[in-house]
A and B are shown apart, each in its own frame.
Chain A
Amino acid sequence: KQEVTQIPAALSVPEGENLVLNCSFTDSAIYNLQWFRQDPGKGLTSLLLIQSSQREQTSGRLNASLDKSSGRSTLYIAASQPGDSATYLCAVIGTAGNKLTFGGGTRVLVKP
């Protein structure tokens, strides 16, 4: 059974510092990995989708890497801003089925 872990569970950084968020998964047989952002009381917003054949994806200040063989993905957010404060979740979809398996999330606070 696929398990997805995100460490740390919470992170606090001063504005301007780069953020590094980690995601690990136990089964490397995946179609893709997706990073989401969730603001308090809101739904999930997709940030980046990395296909299993890709090593990284970039969007603006966000960069996500994928190392399928070691079961790891990292989300980098450059020059963090208070508006980046949110919970970030990663999720993988396995080749065996149609379902996303989510990590527990990392709650980020960027202090002005």
Chain B
Amino acid sequence: NAGVTQTPKFQVLKTGQSMTLQCAQDMNHNSMYWYRQDPGMGLRLIYYSASEGTTDKGEVPNGYNVSRLNKREFSLRLESAAPSQTSVYFCASRSGSRETQYFGPGTRLLVL
């Protein structure tokens, strides 16, 4: 039982390049989330998926797109990376609103 896994662990991009961050969970959870964590700003929700087939914007969705590929996988795409998107990205999952949320180890992204 691996929990929540994320790939890659670290990535360097040039401004304007695109990439997809992958997330998978093996806990059969309904809800999945993408956050970014920045010094002084805390954890901010980018997008979430309450259940397979649905996605919704969070607090800071601009510049990102998501895909809930199936119940296990939730990907985050940067179409044209900007230096302001340099951050640590965390994926999380939860079975229901009253349940514990579990986090992945994070992806460190540097946009030059």
Contact = CB atoms under 8 A, between A and B. Distances in A.
Contacts of B99: 49
Q: Which 4 A-B pairs have the closest CB atoms?
A: A44-B103, A102-B43, A43-B103, A43-B105
A43 B106 contact: yes
A69 interface: no
Given A43-B103, A44-B90, A100-B45, 12 more contacts: A34-B100, A36-B103, A42-B106, A43-B106, A44-B43, A89-B43, A93-B97, A99-B33, A99-B45, A100-B33, A100-B101, A104-B42
Given A99-B48, A100-B45, A46 B97 contact: no
Contacts, number: 47
B100 A46 contact: yes
Interface in B63-112: 90, 92, 97-106
A46 B45 contact: no
Chain B, interface residues (CB within 8 Å), range: 20 to 34
Query: Which secondary structure dominates chain A's binding surface?
Result: strand
A28 B29 CA distance: 26
9 contacts: A34-B100, A44-B92, A45-B103, A46-B103, A91-B43, A98-B50, A99-B45, A100-B45, A100-B101
A99 B58 contact: yes
Contact of B104 (A34, A43, A99): A43
Contacts of B25: none
Given A89-B43, A99-B45, A102-B42, A34 B101 contact: yes
Contacts of B103: 36, 43-46
Interface of A: 31-32, 34, 36, 42-46, 49, 51, 89, 91, 93, 98-100, 102-105
A32 B58 contact: no
Contact of B90 (A34, A43, A98, A104): A43
Contacts of A103: 42
Contacts of B45: 99-100
Nearest to A45: B103
